[in-house]
Amino acid sequence: QVRLVESGGGLVQAGGSLRLSCAASGRTFSRYTLAWFHQAPGEERAFLTAISQSGRSTYYVESVKGRFTISRDNAESTAYLQMNSLKPEDTAVYYCAAKTGTVLTRLGDYDYWGQGTQVTVSS
C-alpha cells in the first residue's frame, strides 16, 4: 500500500496562491493515479483534479480549470497542487488520494488517502 501526507495548506487572501504537496511512501509511486479532493464545512468531499501515473494526462473540474494545476514528480514520490487566484469558496480541507489504474473521479474509487491539509481563503 501507499501512505500519503499532505502539506502546504494555510491562510491566504483572496486572489493569492498556495502550493500543496502530497508526499508518498510505500509502494512504487509511479503505479498510482493521484487526485486531489476537497471538503468544505458541511459538505461532502468532492473531486477537483487528477493526474495519470505517467503525468501525461490531467483532469480538472470546471470550477478550478485555469486556476489550479496538478503535477507530480515520480522520482521524488510527490504530487503537487498549485492553486492560483484563490477564492473564499475554495476554503476547505484538501486531501490527496491514490489508486491504481486509470483516472476516475469518484470518492469511492480511491483506495489511499492522506490526512488532509486546511486551506482558508479570506475575503
pLDDT tens for residues 55-111? Answer: 999 999 999 999 999 999 999 999 999 999 999 999 999 999 999 988 888 999 999
For residue 69, the model assigns a pLDDT of 98
What is the mean pLDDT of the segment spanning 29-50? 96
pLDDT digits (tens, 9 = 90+) for 41-70: 999 999 999 999 999 999 999 999 999 999
pLDDT at position 103, please?
84
Cell of 75: 522520482
Q: What are phi and psi of 30, to 5 degrees?
A: -70, -5
Residue type, 48: L
Q: Give the bridge partners for 34, in sequence order.
A: 51, 98
Query: Quick one: average pLDDT of 1-7?
Result: 95
C-alpha cell at 25: 511512501
Mean pLDDT for 6-16 is 98
Task: Copy the grid coordinates of residue 107.
Answer: 470518492
Question: Which residue is listed with cell 482558508?
Answer: 120
Quick one: cell of 96?
490527496
Q: How confident is the model at residue 1 (pLDDT cuts 50, 70, 90)?
A: confident
Smallest Cα–Cα separation from 104: which of 56, 45, 47, 28? 47
Has residue 27 got a pLDDT over 80?
A: no
- Residue 52 in contact with residue 90, Cβ under 8 Å? no
